[in-house]
Amino acid sequence: MRAVGLITEYNPLHNGHRYHIQTAKQLTGADCTVVVMSGNWLQRGEPAILDKWTRAKLALQNGADLVIELPVYFATQPAHLFARGGVTLLSALGVRHLVFGAEHPQLDFARLARTLAEQRADFSAYNATFATQFNAALQAATGVTLTHANDMLSFCYYVANQQLPRPMTLLPIQRQRADHADTTIDDRHFASGTAIREAAFARQWTTIQPVVPADTFDQLQRQRLQRWADFWPFLQYQLLTVGVAQSGQYDQMAEGLEYRMREKAQTATDFDDFIHQVKSKRYTYTRLQRVATAALLQLTQAEVQAAQAQPYIRVLGFNATGQTYLHQVKKQLEWPLYTKINKDLRQHAMNLDYRAGRVYELVNGQSQDLYRRPWRF
């Protein structure tokens, strides 16, 4: 069997995502569609509107054959590390094609990635945003800058792919109409995840219905929808009670930011107020949300880097095709494959994802890891 891979968040799964799944299989002629999906905490540093199990089920109901969780130590990172996590997971599973959406798929991302790689650019300085470092290096090396989120992510896929022993074939496709950051729904078929979430929180169901699959529409209406406001009391408690010596060790924390966050937590009335008070020219909102996520989950830079060096494969769901593919590649896997969390995994190998799930449960109310087995369709 041949597999095509997708790296996703499905926050929530909408018509553009379903088009992506269908097009990926058509372009490649693959037998199996493998989806690597972020868990309950996302790349923009925010909780998923629906939990990972609901989103994995929606993926399987809309064309995916196998859904793998992108661990929190990759899912909540800047674009280059998010991309590296997804690309290496797919490669470890023997996937040969990766299909992804871009605002400008006609760009020669492979050439840009090769050129920048020759410059040995380093994007590890947390005192400047990844986007700033990245575009400065790319401009110097190629004369090109990438200002759209999915174009930058596309570039990062190529960079990560070039570092694989056996690179995959990468196929960018045109994003359908709605821009990634659009906040309104103007089209009768496609809309951005941002616009759909805003409409869902406002319970504008007639606006949402045409732009999402029926399964997604049903889950959005039935389930409690999570957002940062729900987790603010827990974050505020962490910031007010944990010493700055400890909070300074949180993942992606810049020097001095821990003092600013603790100070603003004293007076902020809610999460939005807190982020606006902490915001400065030095930090993007996304960067601050990722640091806030690390603070809430108490993820230190040291343990995140250690976890990234010891990855694993966590299965969230599969159908008959996905199960057959797993059996085909299982004996060749170099990474551990997990279908459930036991006490040992909870305390050691999968500690960070278990911790992230437990915090999400404080609002969601549903077990995210213990006693949960993959969906079988």
Q: Tens digits of per-residue pLDDT, 71-93?
A: 999 999 999 999 999 999 999 99
Classify residue 365: in a domain, yes or no: no
Residues 89 and 168 in one domain: yes
Residue 137 predicted with pLDDT over 90: no
Residues 25 and 103 in one domain: yes
Residues 200 and 291 in one domain: no
Residues 47 and 66 in one domain: yes
Classify residue 186: in a domain, yes or no: yes
Average pLDDT score over the chain = 92
Is residue 70 within 8 Å of 77, Cβ to Cβ? no
Residue 122 predicted with pLDDT over 70: no
Residue 124 predicted with pLDDT over 70: no
Residues 107 and 233 in one domain: no
Give the residue from 304, 339, 360 where a domain finishes: 304
Residue ranges of the binding site for ATP = 7-20, 101, 150, 175
Residue ranges of the binding site = 7-20, 101, 150, 175
Residues 128 and 261 in one domain: no
Residue 180 predicted with pLDDT over 60: no
pLDDT category at 186 given cuts 50, 70, 90 is confident
Kind of pairing, strands 169-174 and 97-102? Answer: parallel
Q: Tens digits of per-residue pLDDT, 11-54?
A: 999 999 999 999 999 999 999 999 999 999 999 999 999 999 99
Number of domains the chain contains: 2
> Range of 234's domain?
228-304
Residues 241 and 170 in one domain: no
d(CA 66, CA 303): 28
Query: What kind and span of H or E run contains 290?
Result: helix 285-297
d(CA 224, CA 70): 23
Q: Tens digits of per-residue pLDDT, 227-278?
A: 999 999 999 999 999 999 999 999 999 989 999 999 999 999 999 999 999 9
Whether a cis peptide bond, with omega within 30° of 0, leads into 165 is: no
> Residue 111 has which token pair?
């050439």
Residues 171 and 241 in one domain: no
Q: Tens digits of per-residue pLDDT, 277-312?
A: 999 988 999 999 999 999 999 999 999 999 999 999
Residue 128 predicted with pLDDT over 80: no
Residue 123 predicted with pLDDT over 70: no
Residues 34 and 84 in one domain: yes
| Buried/exposed code over 284-308 (b: 16+ C-beta within 10 A; e: otherwise) | bebbbbbbbbbbbbbbbeebbeebb
Q: Whole-prediction pTM value?
A: 0.94
Residues 205 and 59 in one domain: yes
Residues 115 and 153 in one domain: yes
Locate tokens 């891979």: which residue? 5
Classify residue 84: in a domain, yes or no: yes
> Which range has the worst mean pLDDT, 147-156, 245-254, 261-270, 345-354?
147-156
pLDDT category at 130 given cuts 50, 70, 90 is low
Residues 285 and 151 in one domain: no
